[in-house]
Structure 1
Amino acid sequence: MALPQARIRAIFGNESLDWLDRSYLIDWVLVATLWILSELAAHLPVFERDFYITDPAINHPYNHSQISGTVNHFIALLVPAGIVAAVGLSRLSFVLLHHGTLSLLAGRGLARLLTTALKNRVGRLRPDFLARCKWDVTKMNCTGKEARILDGRRSFPSGHSSAAFAGMTFLSFWIAGQTAAWCFEAHVPAGSLRSSRMGRFLLTLLPLSWALYVAITRLEDYKHHKEDIIAGGLIGFLSGAICYLAFWPSPFTTRNFDSHVYGQPRLLSNDQNHRRLGHDFELTRLEEDV
C-alpha cells in the first residue's frame, strides 16, 4: 500500500508537500505570535491625553461608521484568502495555498500589532471626542459612555485603514504576481481575454481602491484625522507588501515571468525552486545568480 505522502504527490504533483518543512512551522508560530501580541496590545492602558473643550479639531459630531470594524476585518481577510484558496485548489497546488495563507496572515498580523500598540501608546483624540465625552461643566468631567470615551482616545493610527491596506495590498501584489500586470516587459500569451494588459493592470487596482474607499469613509465619519489615515494606510501597505515579498517573487521582475504560468511562490532552496510543477513551468529562484 502506498504511503499517504506518495498518494498525495501522485494526485496533486511532486511539489504538493514541499511546504512541509520545519522552517515553515517556525513561520506559523511567529505569525500566531504576532496575532496574540496584537490582542494583548489591545488591552494595554490608553494614554489619557489632556484636551480643551474649545478645541475645534475634536468637536465634530458622532456618527455611526459606514463600514464597521468587523465588516472591514473580514473583508480584508476573507476576500484575499478566498481568492487564494480558489486559485490554489483549481491548480491543485498546496504550495500556492500554503504560501498565500501564510503571507496574508503575516501581513495582517504585523499591521494589527503595530496599529494597536500605537493607538494605546499615543492616545490621540478622535475628531468626535467631545461628542463622545459629553463634558459636564458642573462636574468638570466626561459623562458619556466609558467604552465610547475610551475608544475616542484611540485615533492614531487608523485601524480600519491599516487592516484594509494590509489585506488589499497583499491581494494586489498577489494578482500582479499571477498575471504579470506590473511587469510590462513580460511575455503575455495572445488569443485570450486575459491577454489585455490594461485589464490585468486595472484588476490589481481594485483591491487598493477598496482600501482607499475605507480610508475615505473614516474621514467622512469623523473617526480619524487625516494624519491617522495616512499612517494607518502606510502601516498596512508596508506590512502587506513586505510579508508578500517574503514568500513570493517580486511582481516587478521580468525573470519571474519567463513562462506562460505565473505567480509561483518562493521555496526554501534553489533546488526546490527549480523543481517542475506539473506542466511546463518552474518555481522562481530565491536569489539571483551573482
Structure 2
Amino acid sequence: MDFVRRLVRGPERKHRQWDQKRFLRLVISYAPDWIFTIVLLAIIGYFTDLAGYKRQFSLTDTSIQHTFTEHQRVSFPECIVYAGVVPAILILLIALIWRRSFWDWHSGWLGLLLSVSLTTVFTQVVKVTVGRPRPDLIDRCQPVEGAANAPVYGLATWEICTVQSGHIFDDGFKSFPSGHSSFAWSGLLYLSLYLCGKMHIMDRRGHAWKAWIAITPPIGAALIAVSRTMDYRHHATDVIAGSILGIVISWMTYHLYYPSLWSPQCHLPYSPRIPPTLPSDQLDSEPEGTARRPRGDGRGHGAVLPMHRDSASIDSNASMNLSDRGLSPTSPNTIPLEAPHPAALSPSQGETAPRPMGGGYTKGQYQGYYPTARHD
C-alpha cells in the first residue's frame, strides 16, 4: 500500500518559507538563459522564410519525381504538439503534482525549450544552405514543356521551372535534413530521458515496465520521422541525419540540467547556480532535493520557493543517512561504494570519491558512504 500511495501522491514534502531575495537572485541568474532561448525561437522564423540555396538537379532523376502530397500524415503544427506541447505538459504534471518541486519544473522546461530551439535553428540553417531537392521537386517545379538537361553536365537549374516563387516552390529545395525528424527526436527523447531519471531506470533492478514507459516517446519520434518518407517529403538520408541531430542535442541539453541516469540522484535537477543563503551548518540538516554540481564550481544549494521542498547536496544527505544508523563519515564501518586506489587520492580528497568534473555520475560512483556489512 505504501508503494501505491507514493506512486499516486509522490514522496513526502516539507514546504519551506518564502525567500524573496533568493528568488529574485534566481530570476536574475536564469533570465539570460530564457532570453537566449526565446531569441532562438525568433531566429527560427527568420530562417524559415528564407528562400535558400537551390541546387542543380537532373530531370531524369527518379528519386525527385514523386507526386506532391497535399495532406501530410503529420503536419509541422501537429509535430509541435506531439514533441513540444505534450512533453511540456507531462513535465509540468510530474514536477508540480507528483514531485511538487518548482525547481524541477523550471529545469525541465528550460532544458526542453533549449533542446527544441537549438535543434530547429540548426536544422533550418543547414536546410537553406544545402538546398537539396525534395523527392517531389519535379511536381513542384512543373518544368517547361520540352525542357531537357543541360548538354554539358546533364543537370538543370530552377530556371526551367514554370513555378519559380512561392513557399511550395522554395520549400522544394529544403530536403536536408528533415525538420520533422530532428524536432520530434529533440522533444520526445528529452521526455524519455526525463522519465528515465524519475524512474531510476538504471538502478540495476531490471523492471520491465520502466523500459516500456521509457521507449514510448522514442517510438513516437521514429513514427513521425518515417512518415516523412511516406509523404515523399524527404529522402531516407534526410530522415536519418535529422534524427541523429535531434538525438545528440536532446541528450546534451538534458545533461545540462540533470545528472547521468546512473547517478543515485538522477531524479533531481542540478542545484541552482547561485550560492546558498543559509550557512553550511544549516544546510547540512536539510533534506536532499537537488543533485550536487561538480566540486569547485562555486555554485551552491538552498531553498528556492515554498514548493521547492529540498535543496541540500548529496554529501549532506549521505551524512544524514549515516547519522540515522549511528555511524559517521569517519567511522571504520563505512567505505565508499567504489573507492579509488589509495595512490590516486590526494590529501584533500580523503576517502571520498569526487564527482567527475564533466557532469553526471559515472556508473557506480557516489559521493558519499555506504555502511559495510558486519560480520559478527
Instruction: Return the TM-score normalized by structure 2.
Output: 0.64
Aligned match of 1:255: 264
Per-residue deviation, residues 224-279 of structure 1 (Å, max 9, x unmatched): 0111101111111111111111011111x24325xxxxx1111235976x998xx9
Pairing partner for 2:210 from 196, 200, 213 = 200
Q: Alpha carbons of 1:14 and 1:54: their partners in 2 closer, same or farther (altered >3 Å)?
A: farther
Q: Alpha carbons of 1:179 and 1:162: their partners in 2 closer, same or farther (altered >3 Å)?
A: same
Per-residue deviation, residues 107-144 of structure 1 (Å, max 9, x unmatched): 00000100011111101000111111121225773234
Pairing partner for 1:164 from 160, 175, 184 = 184
Give the partner amino acid of 2:31.
L
2:26–2:272: 8 Å Cα contact kept in structure 1?
no
Tell whether 2:95 aligns with 1:76: no
Aligned match of 1:121: 129
5+ residue gaps, structure 2, are 1-12, 148-158, 296-353, 356-376
2:84–2:187: 8 Å Cα contact kept in structure 1?
yes
Structure 2 CA distance for aligned equivalents of residues 244 and 197 of structure 1: 23
Aligned match of 1:41: 47
Give the partner amino acid of 1:30.
F
RMSD: 2.8
Out of 48-57 and 158-167, give the one that drifted further: 48-57
The structural deviation recorded for 1:184 is 3.7
1:58–1:129: 8 Å Cα contact kept in structure 2?
yes
Give the partner amino acid of 1:116.
Q
Pairing partner for 2:59 from 53, 57, 62 = 53
Aligned match of 2:103: 95
Tell whether 2:35 aligns with 1:29: yes
5+ residue gaps, structure 1, are 1-9, 189-195, 258-262
Structure 2 CA distance for aligned equivalents of residues 126 and 15 of structure 1: 55
Aligned match of 1:3: none
Structure 2 CA distance for aligned equivalents of residues 109 and 284 of structure 1: 25
Structure 1 CA distance for aligned equivalents of residues 92 and 15 of structure 2: 15
Pairing partner for 1:132 from 136, 140, 150 = 140
Structure 2 CA distance for aligned equivalents of residues 178 and 205 of structure 1: 14
2:196–2:214: 8 Å Cα contact kept in structure 1?
yes
2:112–2:254: 8 Å Cα contact kept in structure 1?
yes
Per-residue deviation, residues 187-231 of structure 1 (Å, max 9, x unmatched): x6xxxxxxx711011101100000000011111111101111011
Structure 2 CA distance for aligned equivalents of residues 213 and 14 of structure 1: 46
1:115–1:158: 8 Å Cα contact kept in structure 2?
yes
Give the partner amino acid of 1:83.
L
Aligned match of 2:242: 232
Tell whether 2:174 aligns with 1:154: yes
Instruction: Return the TM-score normalized by structure 1.
Output: 0.82
Q: Alpha carbons of 1:14 and 1:117: their partners in 2 closer, same or farther (altered >3 Å)?
A: farther
Kindly name which structure, 1 or 2, has the bigger radius of gyration based on alpha carbons: 2
Per-residue deviation, residues 27-70 of structure 1 (Å, max 9, x unmatched): 11221122122222223341011112111111112223111111
Aligned length: 263
Q: Alpha carbons of 1:76 and 1:14: their partners in 2 closer, same or farther (altered >3 Å)?
A: farther
Give the partner amino acid of 2:92.
A
Per-residue deviation, residues 161-208 of structure 1 (Å, max 9, x unmatched): 011000001101000010011x143xx6xxxxxxx7110111011000
Aligned match of 1:191: none
2:51–2:170: 8 Å Cα contact kept in structure 1?
no
- Equivalent residues in 2 for 1:277-288 (5 A)? 281-287=288-294
Higher helix content, 1 or 2: 1
Give the partner amino acid of 1:175.
L
Question: Which one scores higher on RCO, CA 8 angstroms, separation ≥ 6?
Answer: 1
Structure 2 CA distance for aligned equivalents of residues 280 and 199 of structure 1: 29
Structure 1 CA distance for aligned equivalents of residues 134 and 199 of structure 2: 41
Out of 159-168 and 57-66, give the one that drifted further: 57-66
Aligned match of 1:7: none
Pairing partner for 1:20 from 11, 22, 26 = 26
Question: Aligned with 2:125: secondary structure?
Answer: helix
